[in-house]
Amino acid sequence: MTFRRYMPLTWDRCDLRNKAMVKKLTVQRLDIPDVLVVTPAKFGDARGYLSETYNASAFADAGVAAIFVQDNHSLSRQKGVVRGLHFQAPPHAQGKLVRVVRGSILDVAVDIRSGSPTFGKFVSVVLSAENGQQMWLPEGFAHGFCTLEDNTEVTYKVTDYYAPECDKGIRWNDPTIGIDWPVGEEAAILSDKDKSQPFLHELHGIDGRKA
């Protein structure tokens, strides 16, 4: 008996991927211009869609020329979970590319770069599995998010490996930062560690940049 070799119909061979002139992604600079919202294109038909969620060349052209060394994936089972504000101090500072694969979050970046004109300021954006948007935070930013739905899953790429000795944080509700979280202090679900993080003014001379 002989078997006929065949090539299955894949996304790479369908007409959707032959649109060479279609822009792969769009980029929006937030009020702190070093923080970007990147939206990869979706190519869809009656079956669903394909999205190229990361392409090193396209992201570099968009201003994200980072080299990523680790991917992280978190699950938050309840709406109202707050994670953050987290960063790694030098010499293992991290840039992060954050996206949601299930559910939705309010994603927040806080500028902690010494001498920056926007030091202590924040920007935020809603990321969801539906909108497909991603937030890029370079080194020098603290990161946090609040889940807007149950069973929300977040993935993020980072530019340096996890280094527990450099793992730092800022209190999520620091009044000098003034983040407008979508959950009140009594309802927010936090780890014991995040409940007791220091305030920004207590972090003397620490930022997220490499020396």
Kindly list the catalytic residues: 86, 156
3-state secondary structure the chain: CCCCCCCCCCHHHCHHHHCCCCCCEEEEECCCCCCEEEEECEEEECCEEEECCCCHHHHHHCCCCCCCCEEEEEEECCCCEEEEEEEECCCCCCCEEEEEEECEEEEEEEECCCCCCCCCCEEEEEEECCCCCEEEECCCEEEEEEECCCCEEEEEEECCCCCHHHEEECCCCCCCCCCCCCCCCCCCECCHHHHCCCCHHHCCCCCCCCC
